[in-house]
Structure 1
């Protein structure tokens, strides 16, 4: 057995599309353009039903323009729910926006706290890092030590050179004395 087919398809309007269209209309109702068009419509209605020939009139001035009053009441009865619908949709968007703002603020706070911790750890690490003045003073001290050692080495070399010269002088002196003694013996 097959399901019964409908002659007319079932209408399933998209609620978001309907809400979007009603919002557009509600937005239009809040513009100066709408007020100008509505004022022109009412003025034309009143002029037509007061100045036109009696057979052309469709709303009686003696009855207080009942049709115009009915149309304006009908428009107001539809305008209020449309405005409320637009306001509810705006509230929903605001709620989503507030939720997103709150989560963004939480992420920003988390990022800020992380950066604060990183900066604090860098400051602590910077305490252990040698400063330029400290490095300069240490280099100066090392240079002085190297120069002192070098001077000491040069002094030691000079001392050894003097000792060698003295020894050579002494040997030459001894040799000269031996030669003189030998010459004297001969």
Structure 2
């Protein structure tokens, strides 16, 4: 304990495994998985297999490198599949992680939208309640007509001070 100093960085140790950037490896796996899922890959792979089989069945014996059971071709396809499957799974996991983040962001946005909508609904309800107590032109007119009728009845006159036909014609420009 006496020889260790905590005010200086530790000396790096050599690692047995190579170091790699997981993000770069993930991007590479997504590109490979994207290519493996295309029609172009299927066409090229089919063409490769057809050429392989034709070469090893129709070429002269001394030029054939993989006789009929095509053991080397089977080994190559197995090797390709053994690398393709984990790369595709890695790409799917990365896509799942992105989807999970997007769903969380969408959920938060929806919560904010609901809160905003509820706030606006309350504000509109408050405005409606406030407007319910505001005197409108028609209400004031009817009140004035009632008062004029009462005054005219007290004085013995019966006449309408604001004939409805004249009022309607006059108010048409207001609408």
Query: RMSD of aligned C-alpha atoms?
Result: 2.5
From 41, 46, 59, give the equivalent of 1:52: 59
> What's the counterpart of residue 33 of structure 1?
40
From 140, 144, 163, give the equivalent of 1:135: 140
Unaligned runs of at least 5 residues, structure 1: 149-186
Residue aligned with 1:81, SS: helix
From 116, 122, 129, give the equivalent of 1:111: 116
> What's the counterpart of residue 172 of structure 2?
none
Unaligned runs of at least 5 residues, structure 2: 1-9, 153-175
Give the 5 Å matches for 1:1-186: 12-61=19-68, 64-137=69-142
> What's the counterpart of residue 168 of structure 2?
none
Largest Rg, 1 or 2:
1
Separation in 2 of the partners of 1:39 and 1:5?
Answer: 48
CA apart distance, 1:126: 1.1
Normalised to the residue count of structure 2, the TM-score between the two structures is 0.71
Deviates more, 1:16-25 or 1:133-142: 133-142
Residue aligned with 1:13, SS: coil
Residues paired across the two proteins, number:
138
Runs of 4+ with deviation above 3 angstroms: 2-6, 135-142
- Between Structure 1 and Structure 2, the one with more helix by share is 1
CA apart distance, 1:94: 0.9
CA apart distance, 1:68: 0.3
CA apart distance, 1:17: 1.5
Change (3 A) 1:3 1:96: closer
